[in-house]
């Protein structure tokens, strides 16, 4: 199948073409119009997607060396995300599918991250063959799930407050770093001492307040945020500036330690031999290294998408649509476009929710 995927849920306009199980193109354009606002301005994001969508889709088709008439289906993010931004990609995709007389497939953005271990990144690409634990860490979600081969999954843990990406972005904001602060902290941390200050790791073995952390796969990052704020308030500005790299490394180490400990504990608890890490935060170099090291130590297989497939991209949307076709999960029923996804505890199948 030749699938066009479109992703516009936040501040990336992206289009990708999958020819069979090969990524033939994956164009990602990151919006710059939000600089100076300290976050993404929804209305500006929608307008920018509208300005870019035609040329991004054209580039994806051209780079894949096909014509639009050779497409078999078009998939687009239907949420969660900034609803105006989602609607731009979704309406464009549905209109284009209608005009070409081919099916349109709505895809859940977070599920697309969750299943990104299946994006056929290269001819040698290996995907998980049995059940695996998925850690999905983005700007708005932190989910631990046990995923089965038939694309069904159960969410076993989620954040009680901030997402892992938010923990990076909000602590980075306190340090005066530009949005999104995750990649900036990642870069700064490489020159810093991660043991400079021990920030709290809630709901883990090292937490003083939670004795019942075993078997608890939920996350909490708001305490870390408060701890960083109070630490900053107690120290003079020059001291903070002189130790910016050390603070970045210590904050990053706290977040990464929690993510690694919980993921490995979940794999052991559910006796699963494979782990995948996906979503924007999975681009973090310290998380990638720590997860590789921990999985190797415990004899667990690790699936990490390449960094372009960690952050928002349309290849993951096209890839999940392809998997849904393979597993017979594409249905012609009505769908909702939603800014939020609840990810309740029941077993769900990819995008049948
Ligand atoms: O998946 P994503 O691109 O968009 C959402 O679906 O939210 O994730 C964006 C999040 C942001 O919070 C950003 O700071 C974080 O991913 N992020 C990183 C890195 N690259 C992106 N966090 C830590 N280190 C990185 N290298
Ligand atoms: Zn995302």
In the reported structure, the alpha carbon of residue 333 is separated from the centroid of ligand 2 by a whole-number distance in angstroms of: 25
Q: What is the mean pLDDT of the chain?
A: 95
Supply the pLDDT for residue 345: 64
- From 28, 140, 280, 308, the mutation candidate for ligand 1 (largest count of ligand atoms within 8 A of CB) is 280
In the reported structure, the alpha carbon of residue 243 is separated from the centroid of ligand 2 by a whole-number distance in angstroms of: 31
Whether 7 and 76 have beta carbons less than 8 Å apart is answered as: yes
pLDDT of residue 235 exceeding 90: yes
Which one-letter DSSP state was computed for residue 80?
Answer: S
Supply the pLDDT for residue 348: 84
3-state secondary structure of 185: helix
* Closest of 307, 345, 6, 322 to residue 143, by C-alpha: 345
Whether 121 and 306 have beta carbons less than 8 Å apart is answered as: yes
The protein residue whose alpha carbon is closest to atom 8 in ligand 1 is: 280
- From 182, 278, 314, the mutation candidate for ligand 1 (largest count of ligand atoms within 8 A of CB) is 182
Percent with pLDDT over 70 in the chain: 97
Rounded mean pLDDT, 158-184: 97
pLDDT of residue 55 exceeding 70: yes
pLDDT of residue 94 exceeding 60: yes
Rounded mean pLDDT, 139-164: 95
Ligand 1 atom closest to the Cα of residue 81 is: 6
Spatial separation of the C-alpha atoms in residues 215 and 348, rounded to whole Å: 21
3-state secondary structure of 50: helix
Supply the pLDDT for residue 36: 87
| 323-333: pLDDT as tens digits | 999 999 998 76
pTM attached to this predicted model: 0.96
In the reported structure, the alpha carbon of residue 138 is separated from the centroid of ligand 2 by a whole-number distance in angstroms of: 5
pLDDT of residue 60 exceeding 60: yes
pLDDT of residue 243 exceeding 90: yes
The protein residue whose alpha carbon is closest to atom 1 in ligand 1 is: 280
């Amino acid at each position: 199948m030749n699938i066009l995927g479109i992703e516009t849920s936040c501040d990336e306009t992206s289009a990708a073409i999958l020819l069979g199980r090969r990524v033939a193109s994956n164009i990602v354009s990151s919006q710059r119009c939000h600089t100076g606002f300290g976050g993404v301005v929804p209305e500006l994001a929608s307008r920018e997607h509208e300005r870019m969508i035609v040329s991004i889709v054209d580039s994806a088709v051209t780079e894949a060396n096909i014509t639009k008439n050779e497409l078999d289906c078009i998939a687009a993010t239907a949420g969660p995300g900034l609803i105006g931004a989602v609607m731009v990609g979704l309406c464009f995709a549905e209109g284009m599918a209608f005009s070409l007389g081919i099916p349109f497939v709505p895809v859940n953005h977070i599920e697309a991250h969750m299943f990104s271990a299946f994006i056929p990144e290269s001819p040698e690409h290996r995907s998980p063959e049995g059940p695996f634990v998925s850690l999905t860490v983005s700007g708005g979600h932190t989910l631990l799930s046990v995923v089965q081969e038939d694309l069904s999954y159960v969410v076993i843990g989620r954040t009680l407050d901030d997402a892992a990406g938010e923990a990076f972005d909000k602590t980075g904001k306190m340090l005066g770093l530009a949005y999104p602060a995750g990649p900036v902290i990642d870069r700064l941390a490489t020159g810093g001492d991660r043991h400079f200050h021990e920030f709290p790791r809630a709901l883990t073995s090292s937490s003083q307040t939670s004795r019942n952390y075993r078997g608890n796969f939920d996350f909490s990052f708001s305490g870390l945020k408060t701890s960083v704020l109070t630490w900053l308030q107690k120290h003079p500005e020059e001291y903070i500036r002189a130790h910016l790299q050390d603070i970045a490394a210590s904050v990053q180490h706290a977040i990464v330690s929690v993510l690694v400990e919980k993921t490995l504990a979940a794999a052991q608890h559910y006796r699963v031999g494979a782990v995948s890490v996906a979503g924007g935060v999975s681009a973090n170099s310290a998380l990638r290294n720590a997860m590789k090291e921990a999985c190797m130590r415990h004899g667990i297989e690790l699936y990490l998408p390449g960094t372009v497939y960690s952050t928002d991209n349309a290849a993951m949307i096209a890839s999940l649509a392809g998997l849904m076709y393979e597993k017979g999960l594409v249905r012609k029923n009505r769908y909702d476009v939603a800014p939020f996804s609840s990810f309740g505890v029941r077993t769900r199948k990819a995008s049948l929710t």
